[in-house]
Structure formats: structure tokens, C-alpha cells
Amino acid sequence: MLKLFWQEPESDAVRDHVAREDVVIVSTLTELETESQLTAGWLAGRYGKRRRERYRAKLAEFRATDPFRFRSLPGSVFETALRLHATAGRTHCRTLDRLHLAAMTELEATRLLTHDTVQARAARALGFAVLIPGNEASP
């Protein structure tokens, strides 16, 4: 999500990819993580409070913008994450990434857009398709 707000090496590829999608699901977990990172950038002095508020307003605008569909998560997402972790074998990923994969399971999403190679490996191990904008050989 953050690559849609500021310029990083992959930002243009992400924007182009999102523009071609019919639907991009944004879970409440993704929304929380985005809000948290926007605040962290402000607190670290990377940008001022006004810019942070503009970023937050843009995130709010996404709620009414295609192709974004914001979805709430049920409390069972934690049990799902535990189940996925228990069956992961040697495929490890961070807790937050495991929660994102559990959110995908709960929301019946089938594809993950990421540039995180560890999260991508864990997603593939669960049978999700992985999209890495800018890397056409990602699935």
C-alpha cells in the first residue's frame, strides 16, 4: 500500500499494476499497517504533520476509488493464522505477514501483491498466487 503514497523503486510498477486490476482487496489489517507506517514516518521526521494528514486523506479516498475494496476481518483471523503457522513446516514468515495470509484466507482472496520475498514464499506454500509488480515472472 505504501508504494502508492511515496516514490520507491517499485512504486511505478505497483501503480501500473493496481490500475489494471478489477478489484484490490484492502483488509483492515492492511489499513492499520498503512496508518501505522504513515505515523511512523511522521514521528521519524521523514515528513511533516501536514503531509501525513494528506497521506491519511488519500488512504480514506481509496475507500471510494476503484479498484479498491476495503474489507473488515473477523476475530477468527487469529485462529486461522495459528492454523497456518502450525501447518507451515519449514516455511517461516513474520507474525504480521502470517496475519496478512490469514486475512487472505478469511476473505477468500487468491492473489497477493508483494515485494517481500519471505512473505511471497510463505504465500506460495499455501497455494496463493503471488504478484510482484515489475517482475513478470512472479506467479
Q: In this structure, are 84 and 119 located in the same domain?
A: yes
Q: In this structure, are 89 and 53 located in the same domain?
A: no
The pLDDT tens digits of the residues spanning 97-111 come to 999 999 999 999 999
Q: In this structure, are 98 and 55 located in the same domain?
A: no
For the chain, residues with pLDDT lower than 70 are: 136-139
In a domain, 118, yes or no: yes
- The domain tally of the chain equals 2
Which residue range(s) make up the domain with 59?
1-8+24-69
Q: In this structure, are 55 and 112 located in the same domain?
A: no
Strand pairing partners for 28? none
User: Comparing C-alpha atoms, which of 5, 9, 7, 6 is closest to residue 133?
Assistant: 9
In a domain, 96, yes or no: yes
pLDDT for residue 139: 52
In a domain, 19, yes or no: no
d(CA 101, CA 39): 24
In a domain, 139, yes or no: no
Q: In this structure, are 80 and 130 located in the same domain?
A: yes
Cell 483488509 found at: 27
Q: In this structure, are 83 and 41 located in the same domain?
A: no
Model's pTM, two decimal places?
A: 0.91
